[in-house]
Amino acid sequence: MDLFSFFQYEFVWRAVIAGSFIALVCSILGVLLVLRRLSLIGDGLAHVTFGSVAIGLLFKQHPVYIAIPIVMASSLGILKLTEKARLYGDAAIGIVSSLGVAGGIIIASVAGGFNIDIFSFLFGNILAIGQAEVLTSIALSIVVLLIIFFFYHEHFATAFDEEFAKISGIDTRKINAILVLLTGITVVLAMKIVGIMLT
Amino acid sequence: MTIVAVEHLSFRYNSVEVLSDISFGVNVGDYVGLVGPNGSGKTTAIKVVLGLVKPAKGIVSLFGTNVNDFREWHRIGYLPQKLTHFNPHFPATVREIVSSGLFSTKKFPKRIQRSDEVSIDDAMRLTDVTDIGHKLIGELSGGQQQRVLVARAIVNRPDLLILDEPTTALDPEARGMFFQTLMGLNQNRNVTIILITHDIASIGKYASKLLYLDKQIIFYGSFQDFCVSEKMTNYFGEFTQHLICHRHD
């Protein structure tokens, strides 16, 4: 059995396609986040995803549908903390991620366990993803690529010198919000593929 | 015509009063040296003028429009005192940084056109950074970086140029050339300039007006008036005032 014979299985194709598109999105967003010194935001939001999954399982809802709004709100919360509470990004990420994990553990303990192993979300399973997740990862990649293409110079200016970007008439709050929201959505959608630990 | 109007402006950082009821105007073609000791509120005053921070009290107008409603940012060039989160490994060349000064002239989606190359070349030539245009910004010395940021501030050919301590990292020769360049912009292109500096004597040689700030306006007028001002004699003492006023003779 050679390497290429793996591709006779549909689940392998799904894994390769979805994995490639998620990798593409993560690499594009990753560069911007590193330049903005928000490199740990993905990790922080992944911790929040853990808490959101627990909430989803508690209310017997699909975890992704619960996680997306919570993680998006948390990403905006990190931004607000850096702007209003004058915290550096790392401190704000630390606060939000601690809340996410602690919340998840408390909910899992209070619920007395779930039928699904919540800890399976920690590591994901790229071979177990379905058609819908493949299509979602492709759609997300296209959305991210288009947004970065059209707002590339705004992101560039904001990453280099936010104060000057404001004087250039760039709405830096909108640009920051776009970046963290895209990151939040990517983290949630990557959860099942690469797992919360690696996101 | 007044293009910067500041009326009864006050500003506090937490409980510390930084600016106390200041009012001044800058007219078209003025070259204003904004001077004062450390912590006197110079940078804060500029940030309030540009709408970067909100004042506790007072009104600021740019080109006749309240700064909160002002949208003609392409008319303004700005050099900040320092880059707040400057990343020395930022992967951008000098030319890319200079061209980012044109974003204020662009509508969505912001794209640098071939026709913009003339303005970029012009700004880089004026600030003597043409030869290092291909280098990464993090590879440059402090003085070279400062010249690049000046090029970025003037590339959009602004009507109003605001510079916050632009000469701190420059050697004496580069500083002299820089002041000459600004003088040329002011006289030949009628660019209005507000320049923050600690070097009163040097700026007095070039600026048409001096604004001395120490939480409130201590003096606003010409350098000649500054040198004979009794108020400034009382503020500095006769000897210091003489040193300031005659150092460049």
Rounded to two decimals, the ipTM of the complex is 0.87
Which three-class secondary structure state does DSSP give residue B96? helix
Residue A31 pLDDT: 92
Q: What is the mean pLDDT of residues A82-97?
A: 82
Distance from CA of A152 to the nearest CA of B (A): 8
Instruction: Answer whether residue B102 is part of any domain.
Output: no
Instruction: Answer whether residue B106 is part of any domain.
Output: no
Least CB–CB distance from A160: residue in B92, B106, B108 = B92
pTM here? 0.85
Instruction: Answer whether residue B112 is part of any domain.
Output: no
Per-residue pLDDT of chain B (249 residues; tens, 9 = 90+): 899 999 999 999 888 889 999 999 999 999 999 999 998 999 999 999 999 999 999 999 999 999 999 999 999 999 998 766 677 789 999 999 999 999 999 888 888 888 899 999 999 999 999 999 999 999 998 888 988 999 999 999 999 999 999 888 788 888 888 888 899 899 998 999 999 998 887 888 889 999 999 999 999 998 888 888 888 888 888 888 787 787 654
Pairwise CB contact (< 8 Å): A161 & B73: no
Chain B positions touching A170 (Cβ under 8 A) are: 103
Q: Tell me how far apart the alpha carbons of residues B196 and B150 are, in angstroms, rounded to a whole number.
A: 14
On whether the CB atoms of residues B40 and B16 are closer than 8 A, the answer is: no
Least CB–CB distance from A169: residue in B52, B71, B87 = B71
On whether the CB atoms of residues B197 and B33 are closer than 8 A, the answer is: yes
Three-class SS string for A146-191?
HHHHHCHHHHHHHHHCHHHHHHCCCCHHHHHHHHHHHHHHHHHHHH
On whether the CB atoms of residues B212 and B223 are closer than 8 A, the answer is: no
Least CB–CB distance from B103: residue in A35, A162, A170 = A170
B50 CB near a chain A CB, below 8 Å? yes
Residue B30 pLDDT: 95
Distance from CA of B240 to the nearest CA of A (A): 36
For the domain that residue B26 is a member of, what is the CATH number?
Answer: 3.40.50.300
| Number of neighbouring beta carbons within 10 Å of residue B171 | 10
CB within 8 Å of A51: residues ≥ 6 apart: A70, A99, A100, A101, A102, A103, A104, A107
The structural domain count of chain B equals: 1
Say whether pLDDT at A64 is over 90. no
Q: What angle do CA B31, B61, B107 make, to 5 degrees?
A: 90
Say whether pLDDT at A116 is over 70. no
Domains of chain A: 14-194 (1.10.3470.10)
Higher pLDDT, A73 or B231: A73
Q: Tell me how far apart the alpha carbons of residues B76 and B36 are, in angstroms, rounded to a whole number.
A: 23
B113 CB near a chain A CB, below 8 Å? no
B163 CB near a chain A CB, below 8 Å? no
Q: Lowest-pLDDT range, A15-19, A144-148, B202-206?
A: B202-206
Task: Look up tokens 């699909």; give the residue.
Answer: A62
Instruction: Answer whether residue B39 is part of any domain.
Output: yes
Chain A positions touching B95 (Cβ under 8 A) are: none
Give which of A35, A148, A149, A153 to mutate to test B binding, by max B Cβ within 10 Å. Answer: A153
Residue A199 pLDDT: 65
Tell me B198's DSSP state.
Answer: S
Interface of chain A against chain B, CB under 8 Å? 35, 37, 149-151, 153-154, 156-157, 159-170
Please name the residue of chain A whose CA is at the shortest distance from the CA of residue B103.
Answer: A168
Instruction: Answer whether residue B138 is part of any domain.
Output: no
Residue B91 pLDDT: 92
Give which of B50, B95, B100, B149 to mutate to test A binding, by max A Cβ within 10 Å. Answer: B100
Instruction: Answer whether residue B148 is part of any domain.
Output: no
Domain interval for residue B56: 2-86+158-246
Residue A132 pLDDT: 87
Residue A6 pLDDT: 81
Share of chain A above pLDDT 90, in %: 38
On whether the CB atoms of residues B163 and B153 are closer than 8 A, the answer is: yes
What are the strands of the beta sheet with B65-66, ordered from one edge?
Answer: B16-27, B2-13, B57-62, B65-66
Instruction: Answer whether residue B118 is part of any domain.
Output: no
Which three-class secondary structure state does DSSP give residue B226? helix
Least CB–CB distance from A160: residue in B50, B97, B106 = B97
Pairwise CB contact (< 8 Å): B111 & A156: no
B53 CB near a chain A CB, below 8 Å? no
Name the β-bridge partners of B5.
Answer: B25, B61
Distance from CA of A23 to the nearest CA of B (A): 21
Instruction: Answer whether residue B62 is part of any domain.
Output: yes
B85 CB near a chain A CB, below 8 Å? yes
Residue B170 pLDDT: 80
B110 CB near a chain A CB, below 8 Å? yes
B103 CB near a chain A CB, below 8 Å? yes
Q: What is the mean pLDDT of residues A139-155?
A: 92
